[in-house]
């Protein structure tokens, strides 16, 4: 028997009833990952004896408990935040709004000021705004500390928690709080499959909070007031409060243009109440955010009845008044840590990583299949689509005009003429640099008309798209006899198809190889199928993951 075996055998000999407490303390001193690093190898009957005395089952049960306890911790944090910020009062938010208005006015009127004056004034307004935001963030974090003190000194005084601020959520005694709060629930108990014993999730953690070190660190970030994006206060003040103020300014422009009587009747609130600074205190928590966003964007009830929101009235006005682009209101972001917020944290182990990759694969395959069928139908059965309700992004138009067309500027001129003929002023022409600018989204109806105005179908596109072979013998797909709209659809179909399968070339060797979604998908699936028992992901496998993720992203961007 080897040295390690001798040590374990001797240990077992002295493992008597009088020493069981000492042995129990020894086996529970380390997390599973640290226990494995000792690489103790039993020989002979040593392993059987250890199993019979349940030495190895302890860490396995603790690992299972750890995963379930994390869910209760997040529930505790959600309830703590909701209870802390309920009925919050910020005080004089009107002062903040006045600074915000000055800052926005300075940005809008910049062309009327000399640049140096504008920069100086705007920077000063921004500094004032950020100073107020820092104060308001502290109002939120103080509520956390105040409520924590209330819990420690009153509701949970019998637990004798050490900390009297939000740090009480991260001390060892918090497990007793979890037990007191949720211990009676059936889901808070776990069956030890090896012993048949029912254990509670919140017991037996003394000395083992190290399991939760990384988990606690991510949750601590929720409660800071330093302006980091992961903090609840940052989301509520720097992001949502600014957006709320911007909506007030936007609504001022909408008054007299749209009538909101219908909305006030449906939602039972006046516009004066909704678009006032006093109303924001109700929009810090998720319930208030949902109520506000429903008024902005509307709501469809379970019976199919539709309640229209402000943005739908704005859209109706824009359709009836072509060229007059009233701004839309912005919805508020979800509250951090709300049940609706998808929380993204670092992977704690290989199992979590592989689980996330499997879910990504499942979602990607489903979405790519839908997108492939949809865009193929668009190319092959174009007449079945309503071109006035389908749009191309401005970024996509720029890509097409520069990468596909031999003279994109001429096409932009034709497209601008289409906008002008329809008395749509959202397209602009700059005489100084002979350039055109278009709205964020352009309907395919406009694009098709522009194509049909151009009669040159022989040299309109880059030469590689035409049937004449290039220097390497590659042949294009256009004969030159098709109309430009048909040619556009053919090129669109080809470029989209290349995202699924195409040919690449090694710059140094000149060797050709296949690339694209249809190439990376089977490699990614092979990686997933061979991942059982994997300890880590090697460099080659990381390339497989990246290639698949990149291909999915490229297809999504084109379809978007």
Assess whether 109 and 162 both reside in one domain.
yes
Confidence band for 325, pLDDT divided at 50, 70 and 90 = confident
Q: In this model, does residue 322 exceed pLDDT 60?
A: yes
Assess whether 257 and 185 both reside in one domain.
no
**E-only strand ranges, 82-191:** 189-191
Establish if 238 belongs to a structural domain. Answer: no
User: Rounded to an integer, what distance in angstroms lies between the CA atom of residue 209 and that of residue 235?
Assistant: 29
User: Rounded to an integer, what distance in angstroms lies between the CA atom of residue 560 and that of residue 553?
Assistant: 10
User: Rounded to an integer, what distance in angstroms lies between the CA atom of residue 560 and that of residue 556?
Assistant: 6
Confidence band for 74, pLDDT divided at 50, 70 and 90 = very high
For 32-72, how does the pLDDT look when each residue is reduced to its tens digit (9 = 90+)?
A: 433 334 444 445 454 444 444 444 445 667 778 888 999 99
User: Rounded to an integer, what distance in angstroms lies between the CA atom of residue 488 and that of residue 400?
Assistant: 10
Q: In this model, does residue 28 exceed pLDDT 50?
A: no
For 226-235, 294-303, 355-364, which range has the lowest pLDDT when averaged over its residues?
Answer: 294-303
Establish if 533 belongs to a structural domain. Answer: yes
Q: In this model, does residue 549 exceed pLDDT 50?
A: yes
Assess whether 555 and 416 both reside in one domain.
yes
Burial degree of 24 (CB within 10 A; 0-12, 13-18, 19+): exposed
Quickly count: other Cβ atoms within 10 Å of residue 412's Cβ.
21
Q: Greater confidence, 193 or 69? A: 69
- What interhelical angle do 115-150 and 93-108 show, nearest 10? 150
**E-only strand ranges, 157-206:** 189-191, 198-200
CA-closest candidate to residue 53, choices 10, 18, 23, 22: 23
Assess whether 311 and 387 both reside in one domain.
no
For 94-110, how does the pLDDT look when each residue is reduced to its tens digit (9 = 90+)?
A: 999 999 999 988 776 64
User: Rounded to an integer, what distance in angstroms lies between the CA atom of residue 220 and that of residue 207?
Assistant: 20
Establish if 329 belongs to a structural domain. Answer: no
For 490-530, how does the pLDDT look when each residue is reduced to its tens digit (9 = 90+)?
A: 998 998 898 899 887 766 677 888 889 999 999 999 999 88
What would the mean pLDDT of 376-388 be, rounded to a whole number? 85
pLDDT at residue 200 in the model: 87
Residue bearing tokens 């928590």 = 285
User: Rounded to an integer, what distance in angstroms lies between the CA atom of residue 334 and that of residue 341?
Assistant: 6
What would the mean pLDDT of 228-247 be, rounded to a whole number? 96
Q: Of 200-214, 243-257, 419-433, 461-475, which has the strongest mean pLDDT?
A: 243-257
Chosen domain end from 167, 194, 223: 223
What would the two tokens of residue 403 be? Answer: 């990468």
Assess whether 216 and 261 both reside in one domain.
no
Assess whether 198 and 127 both reside in one domain.
yes
pLDDT at residue 306 in the model: 81
Establish if 352 belongs to a structural domain. Answer: no
User: Rounded to an integer, what distance in angstroms lies between the CA atom of residue 498 and that of residue 510?
Assistant: 20
**E-only strand ranges, 438-508:** 441-443, 502-505
Assess whether 408 and 303 both reside in one domain.
no
CA-closest candidate to residue 390, choices 327, 320, 441: 441
Average confidence score pLDDT of the chain: 82
Establish if 497 belongs to a structural domain. Answer: yes
pLDDT at residue 78 in the model: 95
> Domain tally for the chain?
4
Establish if 335 belongs to a structural domain. Answer: no
What would the mean pLDDT of 141-153 be, rounded to a whole number? 97
Assess whether 169 and 197 both reside in one domain.
yes
- What interhelical angle do 213-220 and 57-85 show, nearest 10? 10
pLDDT at residue 375 in the model: 84
pLDDT at residue 348 in the model: 60
Establish if 217 belongs to a structural domain. Answer: yes
CB 222 within 8 A of CB 231: yes
Assess whether 204 and 174 both reside in one domain.
yes
User: Rounded to an integer, what distance in angstroms lies between the CA atom of residue 433 and that of residue 435?
Assistant: 6
Establish if 376 belongs to a structural domain. Answer: yes
Residues 470, 473, 478: CA angle, nearest 5 degrees: 60
For 247-256, 320-329, 333-342, 404-413, which range has the lowest pLDDT when averaged over its residues?
Answer: 333-342
Check: pTM over 0.95? Answer yes or no: no
For 277-309, how does the pLDDT look when each residue is reduced to its tens digit (9 = 90+)?
A: 999 999 999 999 999 999 999 888 767 778 889
User: Rounded to an integer, what distance in angstroms lies between the CA atom of residue 438 and that of residue 412?
Assistant: 9
Assess whether 270 and 250 both reside in one domain.
yes
Look at residue 337 and give its three-state secondary structure. coil
Q: In this model, does residue 533 exceed pLDDT 80?
A: no
What would the mean pLDDT of 454-463 be, rounded to a whole number? 77
Q: Determine what percent of the chain is predicted with pLDDT higher than 70.
A: 82
Assess whether 142 and 251 both reside in one domain.
no
Q: Greater confidence, 43 or 136? A: 136
For 61-70, 412-421, 429-438, 448-457, which range has the lowest pLDDT when averaged over its residues?
Answer: 448-457
Assess whether 427 and 375 both reside in one domain.
yes
Chosen domain end from 192, 223, 254: 223
Burial degree of 527 (CB within 10 A; 0-12, 13-18, 19+): buried
Look at residue 237 and give its three-state secondary structure. helix
Show the domain range for 249.
Answer: 244-320
């Amino acid at each position: 028997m080897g040295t390690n075996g001798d040590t374990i055998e001797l240990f077992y000999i002295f493992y008597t009833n009088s020493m069981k407490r000492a042995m129990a303390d020894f086996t529970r001193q380390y997390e599973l990952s640290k226990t494995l690093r000792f690489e103790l190898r039993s020989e002979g009957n040593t392993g059987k004896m250890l199993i019979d005395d349940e030495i190895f089952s302890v860490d396995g049960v603790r690992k299972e408990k750890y995963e379930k306890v994390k869910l209760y911790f997040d529930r505790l944090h959600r309830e703590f935040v909701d209870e802390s910020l309920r009925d919050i009062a910020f005080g004089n938010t009107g002062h903040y709004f006045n600074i915000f208005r000055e800052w926005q006015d300075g940005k809008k009127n910049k062309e009327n000021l000399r640049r140096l004056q504008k920069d100086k004034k705007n920077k000063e307004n921004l500094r004032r705004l950020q100073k107020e935001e820092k104060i308001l963030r502290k109002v939120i974090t103080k509520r956390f500390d105040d409520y924590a003190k209330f819990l420690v000194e009153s509701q949970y005084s019998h637990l004798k928690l050490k900390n009297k601020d939000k740090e009480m959520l991260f001390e060892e005694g918090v497990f007793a709080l979890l037990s007191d709060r949720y211990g009676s629930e059936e889901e808070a108990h776990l069956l030890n499959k090896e012993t048949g014993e029912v254990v509670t999730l919140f017991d037996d953690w003394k000395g083992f909070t190290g399991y939760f070190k990384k988990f606690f660190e991510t949750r601590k970030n929720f409660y800071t007031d330093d302006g980091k994006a992961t903090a609840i206060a940052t989301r509520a003040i720097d992001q949502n409060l600014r957006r709320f103020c911007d909506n007030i300014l936007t609504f001022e422009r909408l008054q007299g243009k749209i009538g909101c009587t219908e909305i006030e009747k449906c939602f039972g609130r006046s516009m004066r109440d909704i678009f006032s600074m006093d109303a924001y205190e109700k929009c810090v928590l998720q319930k208030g955010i949902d109520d506000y966003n429903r008024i902005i964007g509307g709501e469809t009830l379970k019976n199919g009845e539709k309640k229209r929101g402000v943005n739908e009235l704005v859209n109706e006005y824009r359709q009836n008044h072509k060229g007059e682009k009233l701004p839309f209101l912005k919805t508020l972001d979800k509250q951090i840590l709300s049940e609706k917020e998808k929380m993204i944290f670092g992977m704690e182990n290989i199992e979590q990583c592989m689980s996330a990759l499997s879910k990504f694969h499942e979602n990607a395959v489903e979405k790519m299949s839908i997108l492939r069928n949809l865009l193929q139908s668009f190319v092959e059965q174009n007449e079945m689509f309503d071109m006035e309700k389908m749009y191309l992004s401005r970024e996509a138009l720029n890509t097409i005009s520069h990468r596909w067309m031999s003279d994109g500027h001429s096409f932009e001129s034709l497209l601008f003429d289409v906008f002008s003929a329809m008395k749509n002023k959202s397209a602009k022409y700059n005489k100084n640099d002979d350039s055109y600018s278009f709205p964020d989204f352009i309907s395919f109806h406009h694009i098709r008309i522009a194509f049909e105005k151009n009669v040159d179908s022989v040299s309109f596109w880059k030469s590689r798209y035409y049937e004449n072979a290039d220097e390497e013998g590659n042949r294009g797909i256009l004969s030159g006899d098709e109309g430009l709209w048909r040619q556009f659809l053919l090129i669109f179909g080809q470029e989209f198809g290349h995202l699924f399968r195409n040919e690449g070339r090694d710059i140094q060797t000149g060797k050709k190889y296949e690339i694209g979604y249809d190439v990376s998908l089977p490699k990614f699936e092979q990686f997933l199928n061979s991942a059982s028992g994997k300890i880590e992901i090697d460099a080659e496998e990381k390339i497989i993951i990246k290639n698949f993720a990149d291909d999915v992203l490229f297809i999504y961007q084109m379809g978007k």
